[in-house]
Structure 1
Amino acid sequence: MGQRVYIFDTTLRDGEQSPGVSLNIGEKIQIARQLARLGVDIIEAGFPISSPGDFEAVRAVAREVKGVTVAGLARADFQDIDRAWEAVRHAEQARIHTFIATSDIHMQHKLRMSREQVLEAAVAAVKRAKGFTGDVEFSAEDASRTEPAFLFQVIAAAIEAGATVINIPDTVGYAVPGEWGSFIETICREVPGIDRVTVSVHCHNDLGLAVANSLAAVLNGARQVEGAINGIGERAGNAALEEVVMALYTRKDRYNNLYTGVHTEEIYRTSRLVSTLTGMKVQSNKAIVGNNAFAHESGIHQAGVLKERTTYEIMNPALVGVSKSNLVMGKHSGRHAFRQRLEDMGFALSEEELNKSFERFKKLADKKSDITDDDIEAIVEEEMKLAPQTYSLDYMQISSGTAVVPTATIGLLKDEARLEEAACGNGPVDAICRAVDKITGINCTMISWGINAITAGKDALGDVTLKITTDGQRVYTGRGISTDVLEASAKAYINAVNKLIWEAEQAKAAEGE
């Protein structure tokens, strides 16, 4: 039996720092629960000092998500560390993750600190965190561009101060695999006390090498890998955890039988949930979780797979949760079959969510002859609302064409009362949004709008994802599903507005406490 590699998931912290991504507390809890089902070892739930909202989200994850270590990020600053502890203290296992930059370029231009000051700050931070919890991780930011002798000195001092995990980040994705593997091996061999801690790596993807660098590190002594689902994160993103996990699993022969605690059959489900809630679509040719990852169009490939799957598939799709059911779902399908199909797909719905999803499924079945797993998944994900639905779409009437000004008449329901308005716009979607703004009294700016056909055919479900803002800073993502693109757009816009309203109410309530 090989050694275990621990999986540190930073989807909710570094992943949320992706441009345009903003998750509310409910969404963070939903993702965190799925990450726990996936079997990651550590969830970095956020950066508590960064904002009141992030603090509350980290605290909520720590309180409500069980069976996993919950970490809060903190700079090497006492105020940061104290705030992080307040956020994670109620977790079953709480970790404080403190960091400071160690490269000359960061120390000179960002921190404006000397090496001696950085060393002193690192030691003080670890000792402060150790006073709260026995599980302390220290990161030397921009380690890949740090002068080795100084980096080794800082790491040794952090270990002596009480750190239990030492993270070596390739913060700007500068390293290449051979160099990085050798670097990690040298650290594991040369730094005093390194055998007493877990060595971790956090690799960014600026050169497209984050996964390769993470695997090179593991081969050379690292036993924790940090990354995010779908590889999301700052700039070009982080190491995609699903790729790291499946590489270790598939190539045990190369990686000395190293293993993780990840339940691989939950990978696809986790990927889809993160994609849905962040609004970041997974590219079709993305390894492991892309739509084309197990698709075969070439006749030669198809013939080979039909005769023996392993001719062109090195992984069984079912191993990562990609499976196609022979159970045909249509308008004559009953609630029991629908519930069973959901269970097979990995969904655990409340009775209310099940009833609403089944009602929508039956309505769709009257319009669409062939209901696929993707259709069902889209229905369920839309019903699993993570913010109260202040407004819901009652009806819409659109007038548009090449010779008329696009006009939308919209009816929304709020507390069972119908509210109606009409508006003109530059196009039908713009008219819809303006009419909704009139009803809600909130003037929003749409930052992006995108449509994705969930399934093939003229009757395919349209999946609209859009982002709105009112102040140019806080961004809200909305998603709507329908066979009608305009209806999907209206639902997505209303979904985003509901999130905005809910967050404003939460902030107001927090101020009143």
Structure 2
Amino acid sequence: MTSRAFPTLSTPAGPVPHDAPHWNRQRRSQMPSHRYLAPHDRVDVPLTERSWPSRRLTSAPLWVPVDLRDGNQALAEPMDPARKRRFFELMLAMGYKEIEVGYPSASRTDYDFVRLLAETGLAPDDVTVVVFTAARRDLIERTIDSVRGLRNPVVVHLYTATAPTWRDTVLGRTREELKELILSAGRDVLSLAGDLPHVRFEFSPEVFTLTEPDYVLELCDAMTTLWDASPERPVILNLPATVEIATPNVYADQIEYMHRNLARRDGVILSVHPHNDRGTGIACAELAVLAGAQRVEGCIFGNGERTGNVDIATLALNMHAQGIDPMIDFSDIDEIRRTVEHCNGIDVHARHPYVGDLVHTAFSGTHQDAIRKGFAEHRARAAADGVDERDQEWRVPYLPIDPADLGRSYDAVIRVNSQSGKGGIAYLLETGFGLELPRRLQIDLARRVQERSEAAGTEQTADDLWQIFAESYLTRGGGPELAHYRVDGGRTHVTVRVDGREHEHRSDAEGPVETLTAALAAAGITLEVLALHQTSIGTGADSDALTLLEYRDDRGIAWAAGRARSVLDASFAAVLRAAEGKAG
């Protein structure tokens, strides 16, 4: 594939000129963009004033997962009965109260699954079962047959494509002819199921986004009149972005136009069903709710034809991240993901919002440092306020929600590779081994870890980091030995063995570490201790002491470490590690 420049971008001041400076120069692409109409050339929404831009989301909409029907139709290998049942049980466990379970007139498996619900009581009484059908009498009859005996509330979902291209190319109908076809199907639904008290009706003008607003309003009002929509028995009008063709604000305008102009509005549940052709399905759904939609159909992780249905897990967790109860339980996100992957036979991308394996993981050094500091500040604020950390307001950089809300541990929040910095390395050593490293040692260790990561080309685990730390600062390779020491009150006596000869030093005024360095100096090994930092490895009574020593010798400033059961022995071990000249 040859390299091509992108088309000229437009700015509020106009298009960027082609004679702009070289860093901003662009040329026309070779793509035939002139073949495609702009949205306003396809559908002109007669809305001059809109209220949705100033509204705020305050509560969750009604959720309707369509994985078992719409999502299933998009699978290369549709779900067998066992996978369908497992997926259905997952949605019940998550708390969904309305579920589209299939297209019983189009598939024997779907028909049998609806019958399973009718005959076994698998669905709790408070869960509404939705079945989908095209506008043809024989298909409607089979659909109604499938739900007979269900004690649950039932929605019969009738759909027909209404956009001009579909009318002309697919259906071969005029506007009036198509309206009569839809009304005839509506009458069939009414005659077959209208007397059933637990059955309600739903109508979708498929490809709503490409249908003339006056025509779709005419169709919807005709259906609510036919089905006698009322607050006691509302009709669902579902307005799908079957094919995304415009920016999300255009879809919001279309929804607000319908919301404002529908007849029997108090007897209508206004629903949306966005697809994701332009990659903006989630934005379309959020703006549609602002524009008056009360119900959202989609798939849990966005599976569906082409680029998918709207991802209702992301929608719900977006609300959670804004302090709004999504009314659905995502507290075990990994189990949800495993089940969806098994049933669909499609892996969820590692960077998928909220659920992907890497969405809470930082490799970048600056991100890691900010997250580590954010965790520490969060703990400190919770302690100061006297509340549990899970109840404290969440303000941790780069993490819009607490991974623990989704059942995730913090183990994978920070991971280390060649792009990582001192903060991430320090975090993994602290969480994995209880080490608290001073800043200057973090910088020195980060350099060593980066060299190792770049050479290996792989991620470094907490165990890998500990190995690098130990090899760099802790492991002894020979050199001076501590032959004897005694600390008695304020007096210290130290004897060191260097090259087989013993050297001792006694002091009444110096501390044990100073006395040891003096003994080493007597043997010709001079080093200046700049700082000592005490920490431990692990927690509890069985943890070892770890001394981190910053020192200067004739080669410059470096670090060494010592590990022992006591703090004093660990400090002596750190000095001897520095004295052997292996830490620089």
TM-score, normalized by the shorter chain, greater than 0.5: yes
Match of 1:80 in 2: 139
Match of 1:10 in 2: 66
The question of 1:135 aligning with 2:200 is answered yes
Match of 2:499 in 1: none
One-letter amino acid of the structure 1 residue matched with residue 79 of structure 2? L
Match of 1:94 in 2: 154
| CA displacement at 1:36 relative to structure 2 | 1.1
CA distance in 2, matches of 1:274, 1:40: 15
The question of 1:314 aligning with 2:400 is answered yes
One-letter amino acid of the structure 1 residue matched with residue 211 of structure 2? T
Contact residue 6 and residue 260 of structure 1 kept, 8 A = no
Match of 1:165 in 2: 236
One-letter amino acid of the structure 2 residue matched with residue 125 of structure 1? A
The question of 1:180 aligning with 2:278 is answered no
CA distance in 2, matches of 1:322, 1:124: 52
CA distance in 2, matches of 1:78, 1:104: 23
CA distance in 1, matches of 2:172, 2:261: 29
Pick the aligned partner of 2:274 from 184, 203, 213: 203
Q: 1:88 to 1:282 in 2, by over 3 A?
A: same
Q: Report the RMSD for the aligned CA atoms in angstroms.
A: 2.2
Contact residue 38 and residue 266 of structure 1 kept, 8 A = no
Contact residue 156 and residue 194 of structure 1 kept, 8 A = no
CA distance in 2, matches of 1:13, 1:245: 20
Unaligned segments of structure 2, at least 5 residues = 1-56, 230-234, 376-395, 413-460, 462-584
Q: For residues 359-390 of structure 1, what are the alpha-carbon distances to aligned partners after superposition, in whole Å with 9 as ceiling and x for unaligned?
A: xxxxxxxxxxx9xxxxxxxxxxxxxxxxxxxx
Map 1:402-441 onto structure 2 (within 5 A): none
Pick the aligned partner of 2:342 from 276, 283, 292: 276
Pick the aligned partner of 2:88 from 32, 45, 48: 32
Q: For residues 35-89 of structure 1, what are the alpha-carbon distances to aligned partners after superposition, in whole Å with 9 as ceiling and x for unaligned?
A: 0111223211111011222211232245412242111100112222222222234
> TM-score w.r.t. structure 1 length?
0.59
The question of 1:120 aligning with 2:202 is answered no
Q: For residues 473-492 of structure 1, what are the alpha-carbon distances to aligned partners after superposition, in whole Å with 9 as ceiling and x for unaligned?
A: xxxxxxxxxxxxxxxxxxxx
Match of 2:211 in 1: 146
| CA displacement at 1:19 relative to structure 2 | 4.0
Contact residue 29 and residue 60 of structure 1 kept, 8 A = no
| CA displacement at 1:2 relative to structure 2 | 4.4
CA distance in 2, matches of 1:58, 1:271: 24
One-letter amino acid of the structure 2 residue matched with residue 74 of structure 1? T
Map 1:465-476 onto structure 2 (within 5 A): none
| CA displacement at 1:191 relative to structure 2 | 1.9
Match of 1:379 in 2: none
CA distance in 2, matches of 1:322, 1:250: 16
Contact residue 241 and residue 275 of structure 2 kept, 8 A = yes
Pick the aligned partner of 2:356 from 261, 270, 290: 290
Match of 2:79 in 1: 23
CA distance in 1, matches of 2:171, 2:407: 45
Match of 2:540 in 1: none
| CA displacement at 1:267 relative to structure 2 | 4.2
One-letter amino acid of the structure 1 residue matched with residue 131 of structure 2? G
Q: 1:97 to 1:268 in 2, by over 3 A?
A: farther
Match of 2:115 in 1: 59
| CA displacement at 1:91 relative to structure 2 | 4.8
Contact residue 45 and residue 61 of structure 1 kept, 8 A = no
Map 1:220-299 onto structure 2 (within 5 A): 220-251=291-322, 260-299=326-365
Q: For residues 430-461 of structure 1, what are the alpha-carbon distances to aligned partners after superposition, in whole Å with 9 as ceiling and x for unaligned?
A: xxxxxxxxxxxxxxxxxxxxxxxxxxxxxxxx
CA distance in 2, matches of 1:91, 1:243: 32
CA distance in 2, matches of 1:73, 1:201: 15
Identity of aligned residues (%): 29
Contact residue 104 and residue 111 of structure 2 kept, 8 A = yes
Aligned length: 322
Secondary structure at the counterpart of residue 185 of structure 1: helix
Higher relative contact order (CA 8 A, sep 6+): 1
Q: For residues 397-431 of structure 1, what are the alpha-carbon distances to aligned partners after superposition, in whole Å with 9 as ceiling and x for unaligned?
A: xxxxxxxxxxxxxxxxxxxxxxxxxxxxxxxxxxx
Secondary structure at the counterpart of residue 8 of structure 1: strand
One-letter amino acid of the structure 2 residue matched with residue 246 of structure 1? L
| CA displacement at 1:114 relative to structure 2 | 2.1
> TM-score w.r.t. structure 2 length?
0.52
| CA displacement at 1:158 relative to structure 2 | 1.2
CA distance in 2, matches of 1:211, 1:91: 34
CA distance in 2, matches of 1:36, 1:222: 24
Contact residue 95 and residue 328 of structure 2 kept, 8 A = yes
CA distance in 2, matches of 1:198, 1:317: 34
Match of 1:416 in 2: none
| CA displacement at 1:3 relative to structure 2 | 4.7
| CA displacement at 1:203 relative to structure 2 | 0.7
| CA displacement at 1:228 relative to structure 2 | 0.3
Q: Which has the larger radius of gyration?
A: 2
Pick the aligned partner of 1:105 from 122, 142, 165: 165
Moved over 6 A (4+): none
CA distance in 2, matches of 1:2, 1:128: 39
CA distance in 1, matches of 2:349, 2:339: 15
| CA displacement at 1:261 relative to structure 2 | 2.3
